[in-house]
Amino acid sequence: MEGIMSVRVSIPPTLRGLCGGEATVRVRPGTVAEAMQQLRERYNGVHERLCNERGEIRGSVLMFVNDEDIRFLRDQETELRPGDEVSIIPAFAGG
pLDDT tens-digit readout, 46-72: 999 999 999 999 999 999 999 999 999
Domain positions in the chain: 3-90
CA–CA dist 69, 73 (Å, integer): 7
The SS3 call for residue 87 is: strand
Work out the widest C-alpha separation in the chain, in whole angstroms.
43
Q: What is the mean pLDDT of the chain?
A: 93
CA–CA dist 32, 69 (Å, integer): 12
Q: What is the pTM of this model?
A: 0.90
**CATH C-level class of 3-90:** alpha beta
Identify the weakest region by mean pLDDT among 7-11, 14-18, 25-29, 89-93. 89-93
